[in-house]
Amino acid sequence: MIVDFHTHVFSPRIKKNRSKYIDSDPCFAILYSKKEAKLATADELIASMDKNGVDISVILNIGWTTHELCVETNDYILESIARYPNRLIGFGAIQPYSTSAAIAEVERCVKGGIRGIGELRPDVQLLDLNDKEVMEPFIEVVRKHKLILLTHASEPVGHQYPGKGSITPDILYPFITSFPDLTIVCAHWGGGLPFYALMPEVKKAMSHVFFDTAASPLLYSPQVYNQVIQLVGGDKILFGSDYPLLGQGRLLKEISSLDLPEETKSLILSGNAQRLLGINKA
């Protein structure tokens, strides 16, 4: 089995009216203003999964800045997981500053089968992760339903790219320590956060933190896999493609080429995701 923990889909309406949503939301504008930035529907994702041998994908939303856009796009994710219940697992978007409306939206999404919240974009959503007045009620409902929180993460050094953002390890770590029992997935290798696991207190604090490989070939050399495995363990890494930014095949080929024990590859490609999501082994 192969589980892709990081993909994005949008409704045909958003694909058709891209310019409208670019004008409506800064997160969408940053990511999709360029014509070459791909948008994919759930049907297109399924076709790509079939082509590349992916069994299940987690479909993520993005960090919309308004509650209304979160609700609209969550509707499509709910519709998609209902159409493909054995192939797609949905994560919803929330704007925590919407307070009671955000909590109600989490409850609505849970009833529709959502398994997590993400991809959170705190910087673009103007969200202070250390604002306890806003974050604690939000995290409380996430914990209540045993949801996974997936957040964007970015590197404090290196090249710039659309959507890189500023959610660097120094921003993520205080949030992680504030909610030590929360299951968190940090996208894009956590922006380098695993490298700080050489500090014993950091490794201990990250006992419920996982890292996905989304867009890895655009960010790191393949050596990143061995390094992160040594630092935090192969049981903390989740295969994620960031489809349609990258096709699943490119990352699968890279992982296949690595000199890793088959057991470790299996954990990265499916085992860890199966454990987190409660997917029966096949």
Per-residue confidence (pLDDT) for residue 135, from 0 to 100: 95
Chain segment 203-216, per-residue pLDDT in tens: 999 999 999 999 99
Q: Does residue 33 form part of some domain?
A: yes
Q: What pLDDT does residue 234 have? A: 98
Q: Summarize pLDDT for 109-143 with one digit per residue, the tens.
A: 999 999 999 999 999 999 999 999 999 999 999 99
Residue 10 lies in a domain: yes
**Residue 262 within any structural domain of the chain:** yes
Give the predicted TM-score (pTM) of the model.
0.97
- Residue 280: predicted pLDDT: 81
Which residues form the domain of 57? 3-277
CB burial of 52-67 (b: ≥16 within 10 Å; e: otherwise) equals bebbbbbbbbbbbbeb
Give residue 239's Cα distance to chain centre: 11
Per-position DSSP letters for the chain, written without gaps between them: --EEEEEE---HHHHHTHHHHHHH-HHHHHHH-STTS----HHHHHHHHHHHT--EEEEE----SSHHHHHHHHHHHHHHHHHSTTTEEEEE---GGGTHHHHHHHHHHHHTT--EEEEE-TTTTT--TT-HHHHHHHHHHHHHTT-EEEE----SSS---TT--S--HHHHHHHHHHSTTS-EEESGGGGGGGGGGGSHHHHHHTTTEEEE-TTHHHHS-THHHHHHHHHH-GGGEE----BTSS-HHHHHHHHHHS---HHHHHIIIIIHHHHHHTPPP-
pLDDT band at 65 (very low <50, low <70, confident <90, very high): very high
Per-residue pLDDT, 2: 98
Tokens of 251: 């990352």
* Predicted confidence (pLDDT) at residue 281 exceeds the cutoff of 80: no
**pLDDT (tens digit per residue) in 120-129:** 999 999 999 9
Percentage of the chain exceeding pLDDT 70:
99
Residue 8 belongs to some domain of the structure: yes
For residue 282, tell me if it sits in a domain. Answer: no
pLDDT of residue 282 exceeding 60, the answer is: no
Average pLDDT, integer, range 214-238:
97
pLDDT of residue 216: 97
- Residue 109, domain CATH: 3.20.20.140
For the chain, how many structural domains are there in total? 1
| Rounded (5°) CA angle 95-77-54 | 125
Is 272:278 a contact under the CB 8 Å cutoff? no
Query: Rounded mean pLDDT of 181-197?
Result: 97
